[in-house]
């Protein structure tokens, strides 16, 4: 059955890679098109206004303006982390998908724990591959635009990348635990989780909820992946990962990965008890 999961992940990863490639091409093409259009405008102005030949020298095309920007490595890794989250949620109900055929799956000469671990190992490889593909697509677009020299390593870059992957696996682990024993379509619950986590993250800063409800929301948000990485800000040559929890970056990384591991372990235990 692990081969079935391998084919499923490979199929999703293929579609994901195609979408990333198309997105990168569109971004590069749009920036180049803006540059050509702006340069054409400069040329027209120069021909028609012969008494102000020096005016175009003070203007820059969109491409030239972007070349003046600094791009922190943390920004790239953070964006790749966000993209990997979407991929992780697609796989986050892989155990649930086998519940419909439990009569067949659970009669295999292999323990449920080992089967679940095989599924999760394949999913984990897929999530890591998705993160790597996202980084590759972003770096490819940057290289095609000639901006590689504007990328700068910042002190928090690796921590931001670890947080992005951490919330991807955290979301994956939580939803595996939630859907492991569910007899319905686990993918629907995963889809609803986007709305639930998003609303909870927004409610964290809502003062009109009152102290009691606000305290409950803050506790629940400790298990909300979005609350750990609610925003990504780039300033000069440094990037920072925002959070509504008010925690430093390093503790958020540690907590996210711990919850991910606990969620996966709980999912295996729950799935083991599913009745045939």
217-255: pLDDT as tens digits: 889 999 999 999 998 888 877 888 999 998 999 999 999
Is 217 within a domain?
A: yes
Contact yes or no for 268/117 (Cβ under 8 A): yes
Q: What is the domain range of residue 259?
A: 2-11+71-127+150-272
Say whether pLDDT at 122 is over 90: yes
Is 110 within a domain?
A: yes
Angle between helices 73-91 and 186-203 (to 10 degrees): 140
Q: Mean pLDDT for the chain?
A: 83
Is 109 within a domain?
A: yes
Q: How many structural domains compose the chain? A: 1
Is 47 within a domain?
A: no
Say whether pLDDT at 49 is over 70: no
Q: How confident is the model at residue 169 (pLDDT cuts 50, 70, 90)?
A: very high
Q: How many CB atoms lie within 10 A of CB 84?
A: 28
Between 42 and 256, name the one with better pLDDT: 256
Q: How many CB atoms lie within 10 A of CB 50?
A: 7
The pair phi, psi for residue 274, each rounded to 5°, is -65, 130
Is 77 within a domain?
A: yes
Phi/psi zone of residue 246: left (φ > 0), alpha (ψ -120 to 50 degrees), beta?
Answer: left
Helices (H), the chain: 2-48, 62-67, 73-91, 94-97, 102-105, 112-145, 157-179, 186-203, 211-220, 225-228, 249-272
Is 50 within a domain?
A: no
- Give the 3-state secondary structure of residue 71: strand
Contact yes or no for 275/112 (Cβ under 8 A): no
Contact yes or no for 173/91 (Cβ under 8 A): no
Say whether pLDDT at 125 is over 60: yes
């Amino acid at each position: 059955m692990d081969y079935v999961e391998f084919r499923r992940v490979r199929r999703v990863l293929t579609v994901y890679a195609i979408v990333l490639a198309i997105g990168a091409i569109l971004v590069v093409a749009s920036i180049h098109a803006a540059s050509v259009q702006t340069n054409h405008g400069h040329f027209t102005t120069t021909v028609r206004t012969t008494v102000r030949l020096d005016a175009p020298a003070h203007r820059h095309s969109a491409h030239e303006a972007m070349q003046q920007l600094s791009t922190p490595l943390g920004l790239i890794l953070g964006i790749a982390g966000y993209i990997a989250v979407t991929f992780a949620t697609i796989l986050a109900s892989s155990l649930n998908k086998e519940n419909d055929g439990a009569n067949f799956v659970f009669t295999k000469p292999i323990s449920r724990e080992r089967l679940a671990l095989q599924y999760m190992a394949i999913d984990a490889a897929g999530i890591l591959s998705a993160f790597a593909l996202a980084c590759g697509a972003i770096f490819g677009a940057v290289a095609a635009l000639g901006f590689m020299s504007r990328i700068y390593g910042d002190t928090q870059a690796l921590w931001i990348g670890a947080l992005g992957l951490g919330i991807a696996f955290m979301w994956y682990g939580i939803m595996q635990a939630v859907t492991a024993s569910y007899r319905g379509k686990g993918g629907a619950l995963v889809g609803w989780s986007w709305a639930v986590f998003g609303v909870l993250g927004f409610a964290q800063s809502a003062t009109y909820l009152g102290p009691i409800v606000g305290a409950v929301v803050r506790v629940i948000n400790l298990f909300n992946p979005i609350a750990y990485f609610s925003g990504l800000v780039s300033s000069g040559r440094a990037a920072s990962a925002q959070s509504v929890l008010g925690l430093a970056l390093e503790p958020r990384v540690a907590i996210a990965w711990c919850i991910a591991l606990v969620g996966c372990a709980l999912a295996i235990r729950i799935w083991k008890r599913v009745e045939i």
